[in-house]
A and B are shown apart, each in its own frame.
Chain A
Amino acid sequence: MSGEVPLWEVFIRPRNGLAHKHVGSLHATDEVMALQAARDVYTRRGEGNSIWVVASNAITASDPDQAGENFEPGEKIYRHPTFYEIPDEVGHM
């Protein structure tokens, strides 16, 4: 019985000036075939002009159980411009 063909995550840049965006995943035995498969699977309707493929197991993700400690304390209101009072006469700042 054959082994598992590795999983890859696919990122596509729709056009120059935009960032690559995750569009999905696929299976391929190596990076060259992954890139070709990404082209054949995810760009059949002119979706982009650049592709990245990343082996799924190379991605390190944050733990959703730590979402609270990771992301909630980040909300410091003095990091936002509206925290500061500037008179209207000063103009847009």
Chain B
Amino acid sequence: MALFDALLELADDHLVLGHRVSEWCGHAPMLEEDLAMPNMALDVIGTARSLYDYAGKVEGAGRDEDDLAYLRGEREYRNLLLVERPNEDFAHTMLRQLYFAAFMHPYWTAALTSQDETIQGIAGKAVKEMAYHIRHAGEWVVRLGDGTEESARRMADAVQSLSIYVGELFEEGAAEGVDVLPSRAAIRDEWLATVKRVFDEAGLTFEDSKFPQTGGRSGVHGEGLGHMLAEMQSVHRAHPGATW
């Protein structure tokens, strides 16, 4: 069951982040970004669907992607605290995306050589998407960090408020000992290098938090996730057994 749990953690990360990014749709700072953000949301929601689907098969209890996404409550969700953080403003949203993609890109790259063919397949698609997310979110972090006084202040606020959620990225969680998935701890250096490269250009400094917040992997979340799930699952749960 360790593989099932590990897949669920990954799937939840992608769905919750995709959901957050999708909240921007129709409300972006410029029309071009109203097209860019749904692309990013669709990428990670797509990956979540593949992961849920595979998790359901691994579990073998007949649960499909929607059962796993819509019929678990906040204590059962296993996502990172980082991805559930509210959008706040465009600076927070782009930094959250950069942090996530800077982790997932090397993660999926390592997963390309997994002994598990399904994981290999998912990684093959996701690795390209994450490379683009690093570029797109990274370019925005540079512009906001370097732009105006206000944007630099907002960017620095985002760095400040999201830094405590970085440490959790590198925790092995349920994947501890699952040999078809890459080690998360091993990714720290590459993550840091990617973020530093962007931050240098943006005039930002990254400081690792001495007291990282964790708990997502054991279902101890911020208060926002419950609201997100209540909204996300409302129609599905109001009609048990219905098909859509």
Q: Given A40-B39, A44-B39: A26 and B139 within 8 A (CB)?
A: no
CA distance A26 to B30 in the complex (A): 11
A42 → B minimal CB distance (Å) = 9
Which residues of chain A come closer than 8 Å to B236, judged between CB atoms? none
Chain B minimum-CB-distance residue to A42 = B35
**A residues with CB within 8 A of B:** 5, 26-29, 32-33, 36-37, 39-41, 44
**B residues with CB within 8 A of A:** 30-32, 35-36, 39, 132, 135-136, 139, 143
B133 → A minimal CB distance (Å) = 11
Which residues of chain A come closer than 8 Å to B135, judged between CB atoms? 36
Q: Given A32-B139, A33-B139: A27 and B31 within 8 A (CB)?
A: yes
Chain A minimum-CB-distance residue to B139 = A32
CA distance A40 to B133 in the complex (A): 12
A77 → B minimal CB distance (Å) = 49
A32-B139, A40-B36, A41-B35 known; 13 new pairs, CB 8 Å cut-off, are A5-B30, A27-B30, A28-B32, A33-B32, A36-B36, A36-B136, A36-B139, A37-B32, A39-B132, A40-B32, A40-B35, A40-B136, A44-B35
Q: Given A5-B30, A27-B30, A27-B31: A37 and B139 within 8 A (CB)?
A: no
| B39 near A29: Cβ-Cβ < 8 Å | no
Partner of B32, one of A32, A41, A44: A41
Which residues of chain B come closer than 8 Å to A33, judged between CB atoms? 32, 139, 143
Q: Given A32-B139, A36-B135, A36-B136: A26 and B32 within 8 A (CB)?
A: yes
Which residues of chain A come closer than 8 Å to B31, judged between CB atoms? 27
CA distance A26 to B31 in the complex (A): 9
B153 → A minimal CB distance (Å) = 17
CA distance A40 to B32 in the complex (A): 8
CA distance A92 to B132 in the complex (A): 53
